[in-house]
Amino acid sequence: MQIVGTQVHEEMGGKLGYIVEFVGDGGEVVSVQMRQGDGTSINRANAMEKAKVILLQAANFDETDLKSPLEFRHRDQPASTESARSSGDRDELEDQLDEGLEDSFPASDPVSVTHSVTAGGGEKNGSH
């Protein structure tokens, strides 16, 4: 990927942080989102350099260094629970599907859809 352009986006005027996008020659876009926080001062002038440092760290990252998936979580984010899909719980997925179908019935049942047809055609009443 050859970088052909960059964009710096402010979040809430820079109060929340910045997003730096690196645009590749094949239409690829790599985004680095940086939040303002304790001890960090990100502004439009230094956002690009900080994003480059983050990308270098990401490129050198070895996921085998992590002891658990929770270590990868940002310190301010709550631990998430796996969805039925990601945990592979087939029974739970079936239950969720059944609930969704019941909630949308009869719209989800094509057999129950009815059409009203007005009988018509034939000759008009008039002169014989």
Give residue-wise pLDDT tens across range 70-109: 555 555 555 555 555 555 667 777 777 777 666 655 554 5
Q: Which residue has the higher pLDDT, 61 or 31?
A: 31
| Total-model pTM | 0.49
- DSSP-derived 3-state class of residue 83: coil
Neighbours of 42 (CB within 10 A): 20
Q: What are all long-range contacts of 1-10, with beta carbons under 8 Å and residues at least 24 apart?
A: 1/25, 1/26, 1/28, 6/48, 8/44, 8/47, 8/48, 10/44
Sheet order of strands, 29-35 included: 3-11, 17-24, 29-35
Q: Which residues pair with 21 in a beta bridge?
A: 7, 31
What count of other Cβ atoms lies within 10 Å of the Cβ of residue 116? 4
Q: What pLDDT does residue 114 have?
A: 54
* Chain position carrying tokens 């047809």: 117
In this prediction, residue 94 carries a pLDDT of 77
What is the average pLDDT value for the chain, to the nearest integer?
A: 75
State the pLDDT confidence band at 63, using cuts at 50, 70 and 90.
confident
Within a 10 A sphere around the Cβ of 20, how many other Cβ atoms? 22
Question: What is the model's pLDDT at position 12?
Answer: 85
pLDDT of residue 31: 94
Greatest Cα pair distance in the chain: 97
Higher pLDDT, 97 or 41: 41
Question: What is the pLDDT, as a whole number, of residue 30?
Answer: 93
